[in-house]
Amino acid sequence: MTQPSDMSPAAGGADVKEPALSPSAPSSTAGRALRAPSSAAESTFEAMSFAEAPQIKSEVPGPRSRELLEAQEALESNARSYPRSVPIAIEQGRGATMRDVDGNTFIDFFGGAGVLNVGHSNEAVLAAAEAQQRKLVHALDFPTQTKITLMRKLKRLLPGRLRDSAKFHFGGPTGSDAVEAALKLARAHTGRHTVIAFQGSYHGMTAGALSVTSDLSFARPVSAPVHFMPYPYCYRCPLGLERQSCGMACAHLLESSLTDPHSGIPKPAALIIEPIQGEGGTIVPPPGYLREVRRIATQQGVPMILDEIQTGFGRTGAMFACEHEGIAPDVITMSKGLGGIGFPLSCIAFDAALDSWEPGAHIGTFRGHQVGMAAGAAAIDFIEQHQLAEHAARLGELALSMLAEAAETMHAVGEVRGRGLMIGLELVEDQSSRQPARELAASLRRECCQRGLIIEIGGHHRNVARLLPPLVISRRMLLKGIDILIETLRELEAAKPDASGAARLRGKTGR
C-alpha cells in the first residue's frame, strides 16, 4: 500500500478568502498586478477565444435558442438539467468563450463542469484527434501506440510513489465508470465491502458511484454498505466547531470510527474522498487535513481513493490537487480533462500492489477509445507547454483577491473560497445568520447569463456560485468575467423584488 509521500506541496492559489477574516485582502488595483502572465502567453490565450465576448445581440434566450429548447423539451427526458437554468442553445465554443445559435457570445466560467481545461476546440488537441480518427477509433483493450503514449505521459505526472508503482485501467467513458472501477478494485483486493465516503461528496450517477455520493436527492442506493464521515466544511462545521480551534476534529472522528470496535463500522474496503469538493460547494479542506486522512488510511490498512475527476489536470494550480498536500493515494480516478476537449474517457491509476483482478474482471466496450486517448495525450502536452497549472494558480490568486475584496462590502457573500481556477462564493441572506441564499444564487446565475457570463451553482443548499473557467482563459477575459459577476451581485443585493419576485436591475447587459 502506498505510504504518505515526502513530496513538497505545489505552489498554487490561496486556499480560502473569508471576508470576515481577511481584512488585509489586496485591493483590486493591487490584486490586478499579481504575477501577470507574460505577454506571449496572454496573446496565445487571447487568440484562442472570441475576442468580442461578452456580446449580447438578442434577448436570451433568442428566437432560435427558444426553438431548439422547445424541440429538446419534446424529445428529451425530464432529467435534462443545465438548459433549464441557462436557457441557450450552443452553436460554437472557442477557448474560454461560447456562442449560441442567436449570435450571442458568452464568457464561459463553467467550462463544461470542469471538462474543458485546455479550452473549447483547442487546435492542437483537435489536430491530434483528427489524425487519430483517420487511423483507428475503437480498439477495446488491445495495445496501441496511442494508448501506451498516454499511459506513459500520465505516469510521469502522477504524485509521489505512484510515478513508480502505478498501473492503469481504462473503463467506460465517464467519471462514474472510473469510480466504479476504483471501488470494485478495492473490494476485490481486500475482500471487504464497506466503504467510507464523506458528507458533501459527489462521485457520479451510476449505482456504485451514487452509493458514495451524499446527496439524497439523487435517490442514492441506501442498501449499499457505505458510511459517510464529516468533510471539513469549516464555514458550516458539521460538528459545530470553529476553524481556528477545532484541532481537526473531523479527522479525529474518522480515526476513532476506524479504530473503535464499538463504532459500528466494519473495516472498510476503501475510503473515497475529493481533495476539494466540487458539487458540494467548492469546499477546500484546511491545510494538513488530507495528510491526516492519508496517515489514518495507511495505518488502518484501508486503500485511499482520491477522486481527482474535477480537480485534475491543472485545475487547482497543480497537476493533481493532492500535490498541494504532498500526498499520494492508492488509487486516483480521472476523467473530465483526461479527454482533452470533451472526448469521453476515464481511467484509474493505482498502486500495482492492489492489482488483484483476474483477466477480464472489469471490462467495457469503449475502454479503448483511441480518439479520446490521442486527445488526452495532446492535452497533456499543451498543459505542460503552456504551463497551465501555473497560469491557473496565478489567475486563481487574482480572482480570489478581487472577489474577497468585493465581498467585504456585500452582506450576501458569506465566504469566498477556492484554489486555482476552482472557485466558489457562498451566498447567504446575511453574514450573521449564514442562512443560505438559494434564490439569490439562482438569480445570479440567470442574470449573469443575460450579461454574457456563464456560471453554475452548487453546494449543500444550492447557494454557492461556482466558477470553473477553462484554464486557457486570458487575464483580460478573466477580469471581464469577474467584473460582471461582482456588478451583477451588487445590483441583486440592492434591488428589491417586484410583485412577481423578479429583480429590477439597472445595470448594463453586455449588448
Same domain, 118 and 183: no
Same domain, 323 and 410: no
Q: Let me know if residue 459 belongs to a domain.
A: yes
Q: Which residue has the cell 485582502?
A: 25
Same domain, 361 and 402: no
Dihedrals φ, ψ of 493, to 5°? -65, -45
Q: Let me know if residue 356 belongs to a domain.
A: yes
Residue 123 and residue 134: Cα distance in Å, rounded?
17
The answer to whether the beta carbons of residues 372 and 133 sit under 8 Å apart is: no
Dihedrals φ, ψ of 408, to 5°? -65, -20
The CATH code of the domain that includes 80 is: 3.90.1150.10
Residue 63 has a CB neighbour count (10 Å cut-off) of 10
pLDDT in tens, the chain (511 residues): 444 344 433 333 444 444 433 323 333 333 444 556 678 889 999 999 999 999 999 999 999 999 999 999 999 999 999 999 999 999 999 999 999 999 999 999 999 999 999 999 999 999 999 999 999 999 999 999 999 999 999 999 999 999 999 999 998 899 999 999 999 999 999 999 999 999 999 999 999 999 999 998 887 666 679 999 999 999 999 999 998 999 999 999 999 999 999 999 999 999 999 999 999 999 999 999 999 999 999 999 999 999 999 999 999 999 999 999 999 999 999 999 999 999 999 999 999 999 999 999 998 898 899 999 999 999 999 999 999 999 999 999 999 999 999 999 999 999 999 999 999 999 999 999 999 999 999 999 999 999 999 999 999 999 999 999 999 999 999 999 999 999 999 999 998 554 344 544 444 333 3
The answer to whether the beta carbons of residues 21 and 475 sit under 8 Å apart is: no
The CATH code of the domain that includes 310 is: 3.40.640.10
Write the secondary structure of 192-223 as one string of H (helix), E (strand) and C (coil): CCCEEEECCCCCCCCHHHHHCCCCHHHCCCCC
Residue 331 and residue 186: Cα distance in Å, rounded?
9
The answer to whether the beta carbons of residues 376 and 146 sit under 8 Å apart is: no
Q: Let me know if residue 501 belongs to a domain.
A: no
CB-based burial label for 433 (10 Å; 0-12, 13-18, 19+):
exposed
Same domain, 63 and 202: no
Same domain, 328 and 396: no
pTM here?
A: 0.90
> In terms of residue numbers, what domain contains 199?
144-385
Q: Is the peptide bond before 63 cis (omega within 30 degrees of 0)?
A: no
**Number of domains composing the chain:** 2
* Angle, vertex CA 14, rays to CA 13 and CA 19, nearest 5: 140
Please count the CA atoms within 13 angstroms of the CA of 199 that sit on its side-chain side.
Answer: 14
The answer to whether the beta carbons of residues 488 and 442 sit under 8 Å apart is: no
Residue 331 and residue 166: Cα distance in Å, rounded?
9
